Amino acid sequence: MSKPDDGQIGIVAALVRSSFLVNAVYAESGREYGLTPQQGQLLCVLMARPHGMSELGPMLRLAKSSLTGLVDRTERNGLVRREPDPRDTRAVRVALTTHGAKLADEFYTETCRRIAELPGDLTPDERDTLADLLGRVVLAHEVPAVFLEPNEGGAAAHEH
């Protein structure tokens, strides 16, 4: 373990603190767009395609009742809609509305810009190494794709 006064922190503190840092940027971005962090996450997940409620719960790590409340509130704000699932007549999918897609794209773009600035003091090689190492941790733990790579998102991914 590193000494607190040597300017370095250990892996546990670094991961936890970086999580807080990213969450703070995400929340700040959300406030500016009138979104709660959970609504921002929902919109980002739906950018790629509509999802069934049974998919969204595990992706967002929400209990069924919490997810239903989140979708209800986001639907009342005109950002998402429920639509029949063509593969299962008993199920519904959640999709972005036109307004929701536009807001999601703006929120996503701004959030990506802000998060990309966080490692600004690193060299390009250090940034690549950080991305590689964090990517391996995320993939090893099968974290759902709740936030796409900047080149995977965008308006074309969620046109209706």
Interval 13-36 mean pLDDT:
94
The encoded tokens of residue 142 equal 């099968």
The Cα 66–Cα 115 span in angstroms is 27
Identify the burial level of 149 via C-beta atoms within 10 angstroms of its C-beta, where 0-12 means exposed, 13-18 middle and 19 or more buried: exposed
Contact 93, 75 (CB under 8 A): no
Q: Which of 142, 145, 157 is nearest to 50 (CA)?
A: 157
Give the mean model confidence (pLDDT) for residues 152-157.
45
pLDDT the model gives residue 12: 94
User: Could you please report the per-residue DSSP string of 82-109?
Assistant: EEEETTEEEEEEEEE-HHHHHHHHHHHH
Nearest to 42 by CA among 86, 108, 91: 108
Q: How far is CA 149 from the centre of its chain?
A: 10
pLDDT digits (tens, 9 = 90+) for 105-119: 999 999 999 999 999
Q: How far is CA 114 from the centre of its chain?
A: 13
Q: pLDDT band at 133, cuts 50/70/90?
A: very high
Q: What is the pLDDT of residue 32?
A: 96
Select the CATH number that applies to the domain covering 4-158 from these four: 1.10.3720.10, 1.10.10.10, 3.10.580.10, 3.20.20.70: 1.10.10.10
The tokens 């993939």 sit on which residue?
A: 139
Confidence of residue 151 (pLDDT cuts 50, 70, 90): low
User: What are the sequence ranges of the domains in the chain?
Assistant: 4-158
Q: Which amino acid is at 70?
A: L
